[in-house]
Amino acid sequence: MRPLFPGKRFSFVRLGIALIVAACIVGGTTLWLNYTRTVSQTLPSSWFAGYVDVTNTPSYTFESHLGNYQKNVVLSFITASPQQQCKPYWGGAYSLDQANTDLDLDSRIAQTYKASRTVTVSFGGQAGIALAQACSSAQDLADAYQAVIQRYHVASLDFDIEGLTLDNGAAIQRMVDALHILYPSFTTDGTANTDTNNASATNRAKVDNIPVISLTLPVGTFGITKQGLRVVRTFLDAGIPIASVNAMTMDFNVPSTTTSQATLIKQALHATHDQYQFMLYQRGKLYSDHQIWQLMGATVLIGTNDTIGEYFTLDNAQEINTFALETGLGRLSMWSLNRDQQCGENHNNSDTLKTFCSGMEQTEAEFATTLSSGISGIPGNLVGVEDSNWTSSNSALYPSWQSNTQYRKGSKVIFNGNIYEALGTNENQQPDSAQEGIDAPWRLIGPVLTAK
């Protein structure tokens, strides 16, 4: 029988080459399609939010402040109870119920929502015991998270992971397991990560009611620490959607007279960008350089830092704001709104960090105003107060306002469905007076809430 192709012999070498070429074509096509699909996706607009230390005194009235820099606030920190039990407490000092009765927190959050502003709740922080450490099981941790999320109708979560928690691999694993319990659509293949990260700012948090999730981690000029990288990998491999890897750009232990802190911050962010891009590329998420910036954030420590001789100035704030706008940085935050004012003349030691002032010469809210300039996005979706079911009630906490009754500074009353606080001694002045500023007799705290 004559061969079909005279003079041609079957070659395993040629077959191998052909298969390799075919595999390269298929693989290259897949990578190209993945790349083009990824880079064509629109990520949410950049947002600014200042942290508020909820339990610090004097209390910061975040619900009463308006303006672009107050469009979003990050309330901090939710930790475990003082007895290290698996119960959410504000700063380890107030249970959720105590924060309602002692701090009017539920009404203040509702008032923030009424002004079309957003609230992010931050878990963890430098002090106290994190819930992920105190809770012995993922289910218990999920219940603790859910108690906070459901009570405050939170659409944006911030996990500030530092200190002992950062080194606790078991605690980090409980976190991702708890989030899987709360949001079963988070899949280990990363599908939920892709879907939620790339939805619009409004719709992203509506995917199965999934909140926006930020990881706030310590960094140096080299980028994210070794422990922090392990946290990011754990979240990515578990399919948890990370809307923002938020770098804690502060306390570099370099005197500001030697190197501007803005310079150090930019070095840290460039290094973090390269690290995060590498981790995403390893997992087939081929985002562009610009998109990586959009998936990142930075939190600065305004004024005096913890390390002696290091400080973040208003000029630094302007420089970092410009950097954020140029790179498209997804999130910019500051610690804290409580500190965004000049210290009084009795507090003239600028080398010691204060919890209530910056240690810099400034006008009120000047750091937040400078850092937030030109940044107008929001994390997650807006919350409608009237459409939300509140689990707490404060209708019996205060008396109704009465005419011909003298009220002293700090007195609280209920008037037309709202809670008001007297700003000074007054009588026969209705709480809904149109007067503002130093002449205002009352301050609106928030609506009266009734458990449904």
Mean pLDDT across the stretch 149-153? 96
Q: Answer yes or no: is 392 within a domain.
A: no
The CATH number given to whatever domain includes residue 119 is 3.20.20.80
Contact yes or no for 273/298 (Cβ under 8 A): no
pLDDT at 451: 80
Q: Answer yes or no: is 245 within a domain.
A: yes
Q: Which residues lie below 8 Å from residue 188, measured CB to CB, with a gap of 6+?
A: 237, 238, 239
The rounded distance, in Å, linking the Cα atoms of 50 and 69 is: 8
- Supply the mean pLDDT for the chain: 88
Tell me the pLDDT tens digit for each residue of 27-55. Answer: 554 444 444 445 546 788 999 999 999 99
Q: Which residue type does 88 have?
A: P
347 and 426 together in one domain: no
3-17, 223-237, 273-287, 367-381: least confidently modelled range: 3-17
195-209, 234-248, 360-374: least confidently modelled range: 195-209
289 and 438 together in one domain: no
Tell me the pLDDT tens digit for each residue of 193-223. Answer: 444 344 333 333 333 478 999 999 999 999 9
412 and 361 together in one domain: no
321 and 426 together in one domain: no
Q: Answer yes or no: is 22 within a domain.
A: no
Q: Which domain covers residue 420, as residue numbers?
A: 406-447
The rounded distance, in Å, linking the Cα atoms of 108 and 443 is: 12
User: Is pTM, for the whole model, over 0.85?
Assistant: yes
340 and 434 together in one domain: no
Contact yes or no for 318/299 (Cβ under 8 A): no
What phi-psi label fits residue 289: left (phi over 0), alpha (psi between -120 and 50 degrees) or beta? Answer: alpha
Q: Answer yes or no: is 150 within a domain.
A: yes
Q: Answer yes or no: is 355 within a domain.
A: yes
- Cα–Cα distance list, 94 to 78, 80, 148, 156, 158 (Å): 10, 10, 13, 21, 19
- Overall number of domains in the chain: 2
438 and 345 together in one domain: no
Q: Answer yes or no: is 14 within a domain.
A: no
111 and 252 together in one domain: yes
196 and 245 together in one domain: yes
Taking the CA atoms of 133, 139, 142 and 144 in sequence, report the sign of the dihedral they define: negative
Measuring CA to CA, which residue among 309, 159, 321 is closest to residue 248?
159
pLDDT-based confidence at residue 346 (cuts at 50, 70, 90): confident
